[in-house]
């Protein structure tokens, strides 16, 4: 990567870390800290934890498309502004109802697609994977950091302090976007942003809908866990300020488990390991439902949960990328992200309702039962080989379109080819035998 690409990658990764930390820091503390509000209830806790997911799910695709019309930076700055306003409203809230309003506003700053598109705009095709990988690592890092730091901030400054710091972090992101991230040529790429005409087809794709429902269940379960787990830890006289002492070793051990699963996979994503990840999470919820009074069983359960969660969270996006047709990855990922955030909302509501009517143990049991449904859905998945996506440019018109597509499919290693005459782009899905020179000859006539 050159200096501009490295600057862009680090700046956008920082924006992601600061913003996602703001969303995630609330998860491990809200269920405990919200007990001081006069209208406290398990249902309101669930809505407050997962409420951001509803607006994220609804606006993820529209705001991505909007960045094609208005520009990347204006949409990102708008999203950060809305997110900051929501954070400050939640910080000033004197009731859970007002805090939920703030959380829903936080979610309305749905800028993930615009950030990824901007990363594509400012990087060369040969270096794009590295730039996106840096941002991807930052997203994972922000979650772990938030889970550890959130309880510490809440202990020192209260829940209002967590939201106020969240809003401040969003404001600090704005100068990074405005002046540090370089401006690039805006690329309207079907492999980067959702395209309206592709939504129905990809929404109904037999392989993709299984992954979309899977990521919805994945984030439903992690939200459900964080609505219940902080309260469960209080039963063992572990104060909120000490919760990080539980999360650090648990997350560390689960990362070791992730490395082991990745080693077994050997660069592939076998269905058997996907099913194993779901079973680990199902086992964790079963243990929490029936052994919630045993400290060691709870610790073991959370390790199992995060081992499965880490593996699935890391591999699902790569599977979506491999399955999505050439030139349609942006739409596929937009739908995927919408399901992901809706899962967070669903997990909060489900946990709150079940706890309100029954008990926390029943909420854990609902999580265990949902993994059985999940296993039946994933069992219908076909084995997927990871592929590489390549975008090339050529000078062609509609009349040459069929012949060029036909000739490209004869090039060694080309699995799919989609031409976009309006911007002179060719989207390819290729394997390791791809002959780039031969493909270039086809495009050059």
Q: What is the DSSP string of 247-298?
A: HHHHHHHHHHHHHHHHHHHTTS--HHHHHHHHHHHHHHHHHHHH-TT-HHHH
DSSP string, 296-361: HHHHHHHHHHHHHHHHHHHHHHHHHHHHSPTT-HHHHHHHHHHHHHHHHHHHHHHHHHHHHHS-HH
Average pLDDT over residues 311-321: 91
Residue where the block lists tokens 């449904």: 373
pLDDT digits (tens, 9 = 90+) for 227-247: 999 999 998 988 888 998 999
Whether residue 80 has pLDDT greater than 70: yes
Q: Which of 4-8, 259-263, 264-268, 347-351 has the lowest mean pLDDT?
A: 264-268
Question: pLDDT-derived band of residue 90, with 50, 70 and 90 as boundaries?
Answer: very high
Q: Topology of 1-193 in CATH?
A: Growth Hormone; Chain: A; (1.20.1250)
Q: What SS3 state is found at 1?
A: coil
Tell me if 194-386 shares its fold with 388-443: no
pTM of the predicted protein model: 0.93
Structure tokens at 357: 């009517």
pLDDT digits (tens, 9 = 90+) for 19-59: 888 888 999 999 999 998 999 999 999 999 999 999 999 99
Query: pLDDT: is 154 or 385 the higher one?
Result: 154
Which of 270, 378, 377, 375 shows the shortest CA–CA distance to 315?
270
Q: Topology of 194-386 in CATH?
A: Growth Hormone; Chain: A; (1.20.1250)
Average pLDDT over residues 252-262: 93
Residue ranges of domains in the chain: 1-193, 194-386, 388-443
pLDDT digits (tens, 9 = 90+) for 328-361: 989 999 999 999 999 999 999 999 999 999 999 9
DSSP string, 17-80: HHHHHHHHTTTTTHHHHGGGSTT--HHHHHHHHHHHHHHHHHHHHHHHHHHHHH-HHHHHHHHH
- Predicted pLDDT of residue 161: 95
pLDDT digits (tens, 9 = 90+) for 121-143: 888 877 887 888 888 888 888 88
Question: pLDDT-derived band of residue 326, with 50, 70 and 90 as boundaries?
Answer: confident
Average pLDDT over residues 403-419: 89
Whether residue 398 has pLDDT greater than 80: no
Nearest-5° Cα angle at 387, 262 to 395:
150
Q: Topology of 388-443 in CATH?
A: Alpha-Beta Plaits (3.30.70)
- Predicted pLDDT of residue 400: 72
């Amino acid at each position: 990567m050159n200096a501009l690409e490295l600057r862009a990658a680090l700046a956008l990764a920082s924006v992601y870390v600061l913003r996602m930390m703001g969303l995630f820091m609330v998860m491990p503390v809200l269920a405990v800290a919200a007990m001081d509000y006069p209208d406290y209830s398990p249902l309101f806790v669930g809505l407050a934890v997962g409420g951001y997911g509803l607006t994220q799910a609804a606006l993820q695709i529209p705001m991505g498309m909007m960045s094609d019309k208005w520009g990347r930076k204006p949409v990102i700055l708008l999203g950060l502004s809305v997110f900051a306003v929501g954070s400050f409203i939640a910080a000033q809230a004197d009731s859970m109802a007002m805090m939920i309003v703030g959380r829903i506003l936080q979610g309305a700053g749905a800028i993930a697609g615009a950030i990824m598109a901007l990363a594509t705009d400012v990087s060369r095709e040969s270096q794009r994977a590295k730039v996106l990988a840096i941002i991807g690592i930052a997203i994972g890092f922000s979650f772990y950091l938030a889970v550890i730091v959130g309880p510490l901030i809440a202990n020192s400054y209260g829940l209002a302090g967590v939201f106020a710091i969240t809003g401040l972090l969003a404001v600090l992101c704005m100068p990074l976007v405005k002046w540090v991230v370089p401006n690039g040529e805006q690329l309207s790429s079907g492999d980067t942003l959702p395209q309206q005409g592709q939504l129905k087809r990809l929404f109904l794709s037999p392989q993709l809908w299984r992954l979309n429902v899977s990521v919805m269940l994945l984030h439903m379960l992690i939200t459900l866990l964080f609505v219940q787990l902080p309260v469960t830890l209080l039963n063992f006289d572990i104060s909120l300020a000490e919760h990080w002492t539980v999360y650090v070793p648990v997350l560390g051990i689960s990362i070791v488990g992730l490395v082991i699963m990745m080693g077994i996979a050997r660069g592939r994503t076998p269905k058997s390991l996907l099913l194993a990840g779901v079973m680990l999470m199902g086992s964790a919820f079963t243990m929490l439902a029936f052994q919630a009074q045993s400290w060691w069983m709870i610790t073991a359960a959370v390790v199992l949960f995060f081992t499965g969660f880490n593996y699935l969270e890391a591999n699902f996006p790569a599977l979506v990328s491999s399955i999505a047709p050439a030139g349609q990855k942006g739409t596929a990922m937009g739908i995927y992200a919408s399901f992901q955030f809706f899962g967070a909302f669903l997990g909060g509501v489900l946990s709150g309702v079940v706890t309100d009517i029954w008990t926390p143990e029943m909420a854990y049991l609902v999580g265990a039962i949902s993994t059985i449904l999940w296993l039946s859905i994933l069992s219908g998945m076909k084995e997927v080989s990871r592929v590489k996506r390549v975008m090339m440019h050529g000078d062609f018109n509609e009349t040459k379109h069929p012949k060029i597509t036909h000739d490209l499919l004869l090039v060694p290693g080309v699995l799919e080819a989609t031409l976009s005459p309006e911007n002179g782009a060719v989207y390819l899905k290729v394997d390791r035998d791809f002959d780039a020179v031969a493909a270039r000859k086809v495009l050059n006539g």
